[in-house]
A and B are shown apart, each in its own frame.
Chain A
Amino acid sequence: MAARALINVPPTAKRGEIVVIKALISHEMESGFRPNAVGQLIPRNIIKEFVCTYNGVEVFRAEFFSAISANPFLSFTTVATESGTVTMTWKGDNGFFATESVAIAVE
């Protein structure tokens, strides 16, 4: 099954208002430090980068490392400037790629 994401962006906001954006994605975040049942290291499989753009402009970026939990959850803020689309992208090991877009209406 493809990665599943849960996004929380307020559907409407007042111009200039600070809005909270929350993003949760399903990912095992295998650290690369754990041995398997026969003592060999399980290869690392993590998300490495998260980028959020608002109408094409980058508003938030995060780098992930091995110590980040499975199914990572991010919460951050931005200023509602105009109506448009908030797009989130996750990239990681083994070609992992996921993207989600939500509309926000600014009045």
Chain B
Amino acid sequence: MRIGHAAAALTILAGIVPAGAEIATAQRKSGYDFMARTTQAMQDGDTSNPGMLWVLDGAALWDRKAGAANRSCADCHGDAPTSMKGVAARYPEFNATLGRPINIEQRINLCRADRQQAKPLPYESKDLLALTAFVARQSRGQPIAIAEDEPTRRSVETGRAAFVRRQGQLNLSCAQCHDDNWSGRLAGNPLTQGQPTGYPIYRLEWQSLGSLQRRLRNCLTGMRAEAPALGAQELVDLELYLMSRARGMPIETPAVRP
């Protein structure tokens, strides 16, 4: 299977155009547009989208008191559909105290540590995915709006540098597939542009919900590169770059992907 992928990748790269620029705004397409109609229908219905199972779990967690402070998310933030609307469209966001960008998962865990005095939830755990999906669901339809200030811009550039850097045993960069060859196919599957519009996503291959970082690590492993650990700053910077690259595209959380 792996070898098949590699061979297909090399075939595609044989006819590659010279490393191009970013995708033009008018040409940007969500992963949704590359999917089969049946998978699109699955995502569209709130009772057929399995990601909604996590959103409902997240809604329950939102109201549950936790930690030494015995406080729930709702005690501070109140009604999530109002207070969390548009929040996911701004993340990852530069955190001035920490001096680096943080993603929603890290924001939730900061809240847990500071306000609830509770243990942080492990990355990719069911509870963290559920809370993230619930918070991000409140931004569905909102355009991605990453800040354009100076510190954010610096991190975006770091992310972009990682995106165009060739790495791994196959000596591939993210951009070679997702900027230069997104209209092509890899081993029969559409390559797609890698627009992070619907995370956390319910991926049929995973039979589960998963974060953007899980997806990124997935791609890096396929390139036979060394994938940074979940929560690593390299991955947050890459997330930030991808979100800034998708600026203006609507949030679809929880998206379904094949």
Interface positions of A (Cβ within 8 A of B)? 1, 4, 6-8, 22, 24, 26, 28-29, 69-71, 73, 75
Residue of A nearest to B209 (CB): A71
Number of inter-chain CB pairs below 8 Å: 37
Give Cα A38–Cα B206 distance, bound, in whole angstroms.
21
Interface positions of B (Cβ within 8 A of A)? 42, 45-48, 50, 52-53, 56-57, 60, 204, 207-208
The answer to whether A8 and B47 have CB atoms under 8 Å apart is: yes
The answer to whether B53 and A24 have CB atoms under 8 Å apart is: yes
The answer to whether B47 and A1 have CB atoms under 8 Å apart is: no
Give Cα A70–Cα B204 distance, bound, in whole angstroms.
9
Give Cα A70–Cα B210 distance, bound, in whole angstroms.
14
A26: chain B residues at CB < 8 Å are 50, 53
The answer to whether A4 and B50 have CB atoms under 8 Å apart is: no
The answer to whether A73 and B50 have CB atoms under 8 Å apart is: yes
The answer to whether B48 and A22 have CB atoms under 8 Å apart is: yes
Most buried by A among B42, B48, B208: B48
Give Cα A66–Cα B50 distance, bound, in whole angstroms.
19
Give Cα A7–Cα B88 distance, bound, in whole angstroms.
27
- The 7 residue pairs across chains A and B that have the minimum distance between CB atoms: A70-B207, A8-B47, A6-B47, A71-B50, A26-B53, A4-B53, A4-B56
The answer to whether B56 and A24 have CB atoms under 8 Å apart is: no
Give Cα A33–Cα B188 distance, bound, in whole angstroms.
27
Asked whether A8 and B45 contact (CB < 8 A) given A69-B207, A70-B207, A71-B207, the answer is yes
